[in-house]
Amino acid sequence: MTESPRTSSPDEGARSIDHDGLDEPFEIRRRVWLFIVVMMASWALAGAYGWLGYDREEPYLWGVAGGLFLIGLVFARMLRQVRTPLLVADLHGVRMLGPAGWVGFLWREMGDITVERRSLRHGPRVRVRGLEDRRDLTVPVGLATNVSAPRTEIELARRREAASY
């Protein structure tokens, strides 16, 4: 049994270039367990304050129970979207989930992308600014997401450097 020699096309080598594992996109996602813990804790506290309000016949405790229950409902609603990434970066550019939907930038169209450190008002954030559009788009990183600020900085720098062609 003889095997036929394999012929290769001239651009086959160009398609098989490996960018040191950069073919997989870098994603920033929310932490599912954190949303579940906050939701369950707020509902447990709402139940406790509701029972306490019923037992002591204090109307203000019912207000506290109602507020905690609403916080749990907000987090339950957010659980429907918790698997959707907040930011996706690959060799072509960055896509971010904004208030009006997805916004994408090619690396060459991006003016500036920075990972800002924690401040008194905000936690660490990824800030993206386009060349033509001067408004900033931000995505939080840290406790509520699956990546840290230093890892995000490294991953974005690797992909931007690999895409500079």
pLDDT in tens, 91-137: 888 898 877 888 888 888 887 888 888 777 778 888 888 777 667 88
Query: At 165, is the pLDDT very low, low, confident or very high (cuts 50, 70, 90)?
Result: low
| Tokens read off for 74 | 């907000």
> Who has greater pLDDT, 90 or 122?
90
Whether the per-residue pLDDT at 34 is higher than 80: the answer is: yes
> Who has greater pLDDT, 88 or 19?
88
Query: At 15, is the pLDDT very low, low, confident or very high (cuts 50, 70, 90)?
Result: very low
Which of 61, 105, 108, 89 minimizes the C-alpha distance to 159?
89
Provide the pLDDT for residue 38: 94
Provide the pLDDT for residue 41: 97
Model pTM greater than 0.95? no
For a pLDDT cut of 90, what percent of the chain falls above it?
A: 24
Provide the pLDDT for residue 163: 65
pLDDT digits (tens, 9 = 90+) for 36-54: 999 999 999 999 999 999 9
Strands (E), the chain: 26-28, 87-89, 93-98, 101-106, 110-116, 125-130, 136-140
Contact 140/146 with Cβ under 8 angstroms?
A: no
Candidate ranges 30-34, 72-76, 146-150, 151-155; pick with highest mean pLDDT: 72-76
Whether the per-residue pLDDT at 139 is higher than 50: the answer is: yes
Contact 146/33 with Cβ under 8 angstroms?
A: no
